């Protein structure tokens, strides 16, 4: 993508736009953040409206020299950059291009590693915590957390049944020698030691849970069902798929004299995205994979941003970076993974074919996959008639209402209840305004409030 198109898209994980050269400290922070993450460009000569205003041509050489001095004096280890100009529509832009470094982590000289290491999260620079600094150090030496030995656990304390059963299902037997070949066990000073990968796969560690919830409506205010799966990774995957099947709509059609049933979001897509979450999540974080089903979307959240400076664009182009090399290899051996880098592309293709909107977001601390639900639940004909009767009777009894009240009533007739969060979205108002409208409608006798604390909602007042 050329620079003009990048500027139009705005600031991102790999782009910073400035009208003038920022302060030395802010410039150094951005350079360091880009070096520690995915690289990027700092473009001088673009205002807050993404308009190219340019810089004075006579200032170019002085600015280039100043930028080079700031980076050399304030950043450590040394960061190599390319500083050049671009002429767009007769306006001169200064471009500072930074590449992802090999000597991670980079940090401010005067602050030191613990207080001066920055990473890029979205379009902002954030101070890296200690766990992130350790991760950057692992990346520098090409080592992953899952292949590190865990000296606190002994092999005899681990139940190897889950992993043995999985290999058996795929027609393979597994023994200690093969576990060592796959780096699930390492020999240290003559003693067999489990790696973090073995503890993760067998469910020995605490943070391998998958938490699932089915929420009512489009917010987290009220949930209809929730489950936490905390056995081993393989069982967690299986149980999560069952949870999704239980809460997604199933349609059927007769084709070639055969009944064909399909879920609104194909299971192959959901299984693929869950595999990605399991294989690529950050197991150093004390968090869980979360699966949330709303009326409008299904969202699957995996702890940790994209690994090793990867960007969303690169993911959709087929690039793959393994955060957990050992776990990834095990899933490949078991046949769960076909080709590295093909999963997200396949998901995108299937979703396009099925008319499902699919979005992948890197939020720095987590990655979320969002699927727009395409099948609306149909009510039975007799239920439709009942709703029509309620609607007609209710409208006659309440008399004239405002435009906002009418929108709320329309939602209630269709969905039976409403929350203040839903009112905010429907009316496009702030929280205080939404609550005030609901309170006024309740005082008029139009609505009835159910519950008194968080999680409360409103229904039609049938006594009206």
Q: Do 188 and 284 sit in the same domain of this protein?
A: no
Q: What is the CATH number of the domain that holds 409?
A: 1.10.10.10
- Do the Cβ atoms of 416 and 459 come closer than 8 Å? yes
Q: Do 279 and 325 sit in the same domain of this protein?
A: yes
Q: Do 286 and 190 sit in the same domain of this protein?
A: no
Does residue 346 surpass a pLDDT of 50? Answer: yes
- Do the Cβ atoms of 268 and 339 come closer than 8 Å? no
Q: Do 47 and 118 sit in the same domain of this protein?
A: yes
Q: How confident is the model at residue 394 (pLDDT cuts 50, 70, 90)?
A: low
Q: What is the pLDDT of residue 463?
A: 67
Q: Do 358 and 392 sit in the same domain of this protein?
A: no
Q: How confident is the model at residue 305 (pLDDT cuts 50, 70, 90)?
A: confident
Q: Do 9 and 40 sit in the same domain of this protein?
A: yes
Q: What is the pLDDT of residue 319?
A: 85
Q: What is the pLDDT of residue 391?
A: 53
In angstroms, the CA 66 to CA 74 distance is 12
Q: How confident is the model at residue 398 (pLDDT cuts 50, 70, 90)?
A: low
Closest CA to 162 of 212, 211, 200, 194: 200
Q: How confident is the model at residue 428 (pLDDT cuts 50, 70, 90)?
A: confident
DSSP string, 40-90: EEEEESB-TTS-B----GGGHHHHHHHHHHHHHHHEES---EEEEEEEETT
The CA R_g of the chain, rounded to the nearest whole Å, is 27
* Beta bridge partners of residue 96, listed in sequence order: 42, 83
Q: What is the pLDDT of residue 99?
A: 95
Q: Do 298 and 355 sit in the same domain of this protein?
A: yes
For the chain, count helices (H), then strands (E): 17, 21
DSSP string, 118-133: EEEETTEEEE--HHHH
Q: Do 319 and 449 sit in the same domain of this protein?
A: no
Q: Tell me the per-residue pLDDT of 252-294, one tens digit each, with 9 for 90 and over.
A: 555 555 556 688 999 999 999 999 999 999 999 888 999 999 9
Q: Do 244 and 116 sit in the same domain of this protein?
A: no
Q: What is the mean pLDDT of residues 239-243?
A: 95
Where in the sequence is the domain holding 123, given as residue range(s)? 3-137
Sign of CA dihedral 400, 404, 410, 412: negative
Does residue 325 surpass a pLDDT of 90? Answer: yes
250/190: higher pLDDT: 190
191/389: higher pLDDT: 191
Q: Do 262 and 323 sit in the same domain of this protein?
A: yes
**For the ranges 101-105, 401-405, 448-452, which has the lowest average pLDDT?**
448-452
Q: Do 367 and 269 sit in the same domain of this protein?
A: yes
Q: What is the pLDDT of residue 383?
A: 42
Q: How confident is the model at residue 387 (pLDDT cuts 50, 70, 90)?
A: very low
Q: Tell me the per-residue pLDDT of 118-144, one tens digit each, with 9 for 90 and over.
A: 999 889 999 999 989 999 999 999 899
Q: What is the mean pLDDT of residues 43-56?
A: 95
Q: What is the pLDDT of residue 155?
A: 92
Tell me what percent of the residues of the chain surpass a pLDDT of 70.
90
In angstroms, the CA 100 to CA 307 distance is 13
**Tally of structural domains, the chain:** 4
Q: What is the pLDDT of residue 108?
A: 98
Q: Which of 137, 160, 183 is the last residue of a domain?
A: 137
Mean pLDDT of the chain: 88
């Amino acid at each position: 993508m050329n620079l003009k198109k990048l500027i139009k898209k705005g600031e991102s994980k790999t782009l910073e736009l400035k009208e003038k050269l920022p302060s030395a400290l802010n410039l150094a922070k951005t350079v360091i953040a880009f070096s520690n993450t995915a690289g990027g460009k700092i473009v001088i000569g673009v205002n807050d409206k993404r308009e190219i205003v340019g810089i004075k041509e006579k200032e170019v050489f002085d600015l280039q020299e100043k930028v080079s001095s700031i980076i050399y004096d304030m950043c450590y280890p040394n960061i190599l950059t390319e500083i050049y100009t671009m002429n767009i529509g007769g306006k001169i832009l200064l471009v500072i291009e930074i590449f992802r470094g090999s000597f991670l982590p980079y940090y401010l000289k005067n602050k030191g590693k613990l207080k001066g290491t920055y990473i890029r999260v979205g379009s902002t620079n954030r101070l890296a915590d200690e766990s992130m600094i350790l991760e950057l150090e692992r990346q520098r030496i090409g080592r992953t957390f899952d292949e590190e030995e865990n000296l606190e656990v002994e092999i005899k304390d681990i139940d190897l049944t889950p992993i043995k059963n999985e290999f058996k299902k795929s027609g393979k037997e597994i023994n200690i020698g093969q576990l060592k070949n796959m780096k699930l066990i390492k020999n240290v000073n003559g003693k067999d030691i489990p790696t973090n990968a073995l503890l993760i796969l067998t469910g020995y560690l605490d943070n391998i849970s998958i938490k699932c919830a089915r929420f009512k409506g489009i917010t987290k205010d009220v949930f209809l069902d929730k489950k936490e799966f905390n056995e081993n990774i393989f069982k967690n995957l299986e149980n999560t798929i069952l949870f999704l099947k239980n809460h997604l709509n199933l349609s059927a059609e007769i084709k070639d004299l055969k009944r064909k049933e399909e879920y609104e979001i194909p299971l192959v897509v959901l299984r693929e995205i869950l595999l990605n979450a399991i294989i690529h999540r950050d197991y150093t974080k004390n968090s869980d994979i979360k699966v949330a089903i709303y009326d409008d979307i299904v969202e699957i959240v995996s702890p940790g941003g994209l690994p090793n400076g990867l960007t969303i664009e690169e993911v959709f182009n087929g690039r793959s970076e393994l955060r957990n090399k050992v776990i990834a290899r095990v899933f490949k051996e078991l046949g769960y993974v076909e080709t590295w880098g093909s999963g997200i592309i396949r998901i995108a293709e299937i979703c396009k074919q099925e008319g499902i909107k699919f979005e992948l977001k890197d939020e720095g601390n987590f990655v979320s996959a969002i699927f727009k639900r395409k099948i609306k639940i149909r009510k039975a004909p007799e239920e439709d008639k009942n709703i029509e009767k309620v609607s007609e009777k209710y409208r006659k009894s309440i008399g004239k209402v405002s435009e906002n009240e009418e929108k709320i009533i329309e939602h209630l007739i269709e969905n039976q209840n409403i929350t203040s969060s839903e009112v905010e979205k429907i009316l496009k108002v702030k929280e205080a305004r939404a609550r005030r409208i609901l309170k006024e409608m309740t005082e008029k006798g139009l609505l009835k409030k159910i519950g008194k604390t968080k999680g409360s909602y409103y229904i039609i007042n049938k006594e009206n």
